[in-house]
Chains A and B, each alone.
Chain A
Amino acid sequence: MSATAGRPTAWLRCQVNGRAVERELDVRLLLIEFIRDTLGLKAARIGCLTGDCGACTVRIDDQVTKACLVLALSAEDRKVTTLEGARDLAAIQQAFVAENGFQCGYCTTGMILTVAELLQSNPDPTDAEIRRALIGNLCRCTGYEPIVAAVRRASATLQTATPVD
């Protein structure tokens, strides 16, 4: 049971990037605002605040989630992972660089986390599956073709790579 009983602030206890976090915060804070403004982790961005653009993507309990759609207090006891704390992204990041899968880069952090989730459940996706997975991550620069190519490259790299701990 969590209750704010009308008080303007409340305590949030959760885990962010592997560290326990305990903060008193404004009840009205969104999770993306808590991550960026309170904790200073700037990889996840605020784009639309409507859930359309995906720039605010983080992992909550290992599932990608648009953090502008979540009240910070809803993260109580949850494991939140941002791009800064994820350790399984290097091949995807390198593929985005190799294929010029970004221009301004604003959408890229959300793209990378979403692609990682796709490739974990579907290591060899078709172009249609790639495009469907990225349907909620909007890019205004690239026209998406280099992004899809980057996902294909990351998929190939990860499938041939020797697993390392």
Chain B
Amino acid sequence: MIRTAFAYERPDTIEAAVRLLAATEGSGRVLGGGSVLVPAMSAGEEQPSLIVDVSRLAGLRTIRENGTNVEIGAGVTYAALEASSVVTDRLPLLAAMVREVTGGPGLWNLATLGGAACRANPASDGPGCLVALAAGFRLQSVRGVRIVAAERFFHGAYETERAEDEILTDLILPAASWTTRTAYVKVKHAASSWPIVTASCAFAPGKGVRLCIGAASPVPILTEWAATEWPGADRVHEMAQQAAAAMVTEWADELAGPGYRRAIAATVAARAIRAVTEGMA
């Protein structure tokens, strides 16, 4: 049993949820799926005064098409993302990433992409993919609502732009039809392992290429090339080297010690770029 006492609230509205959270002055925690927070409480790593369970707020569990955007509620589970034809049809890069999340159906039916974003574990699938997708993060608090761009959302390992009194309500994903080719590639050492390095690549004719290396450093590494710089398969190696060279700080953990991620980042990036370029004239 969790060792420290806490209060538990399951508010019926997002407005009530942010009021409850604000009143704790930083000691409250938002319970989405629970796949990270609950075991952290079991281990004594998190000792919140209040749990605000938002897992049933209907508005947080919907996937909505809004013009050229797709808005994904922060409480949408990986299983719901995988089952969504909107995600499959309009966000193939996200769909590819979701299919690669480990944990099995017992986790996919529970865990949320929004929760993973707020956790900001460097060695996880969500952050890199969301940066590649140019996601917007809608944050709500008693002070109001704001939308933060992905490049500004992830501050460092386990640190985000989200303030302690804010709840992530939606991921806003540009899903214009011109993003025609995407690839998600990752290295992990066992089927049930957290990722070591990920690479998300998206090519949009007339716009260019976005490549994001995830899990290799505390925050995802984004590199963009304009469409005019797209010469095809012969530049894959050079582009991958360029993307990996943008790494400043390397992330290291028990799965891959210092030097490992830096050594393989360009290779993983090259695989993603190659997957996108293959078959192109």
Residues of A within 8 A of B (CB): 1-8, 10, 26-30, 33, 49-52, 54, 57, 60, 63-66, 68-71, 73-74, 76, 110, 114, 117-118, 131, 133-138
Contact = CB atoms under 8 A, between A and B. Distances in A.
B279 interface: no
Interface stretch (B84-92, B100-108, B126-134, B265-273): B100-108
A136 B192 CA distance: 7
Contact of B10 (A33, A73, A117): A73
B43 A135 contact: no
Contacts of A2: 8-10, 53
Interface residues of B, number: 36
Nearest to B33: A69
B35 to A, nearest CB: 5
Contact of B104 (A4, A28, A71, A134): A134
Interface string B1-25: 1111111111110001000000000
Interface string B21-49: 00000000001011100110011000000
B8 A137 contact: no
A104 B27 CA distance: 42
A60 B109 CA distance: 9
B25 to A, nearest CB: 15
27 contacts: A1-B9, A1-B16, A2-B9, A3-B7, A4-B7, A6-B5, A7-B7, A26-B1, A28-B3, A49-B39, A49-B43, A51-B35, A52-B192, A54-B106, A60-B109, A66-B110, A69-B38, A69-B107, A69-B110, A69-B111, A70-B110, A71-B8, A71-B53, A76-B10, A134-B104, A136-B103, A137-B106
A136 B10 contact: no
A57 B107 CA distance: 10
B69 to A, nearest CB: 28
A66 B6 CA distance: 22
B9 A3 contact: yes
Contacts of A33: 1
B198 interface: no
A54 B104 contact: yes
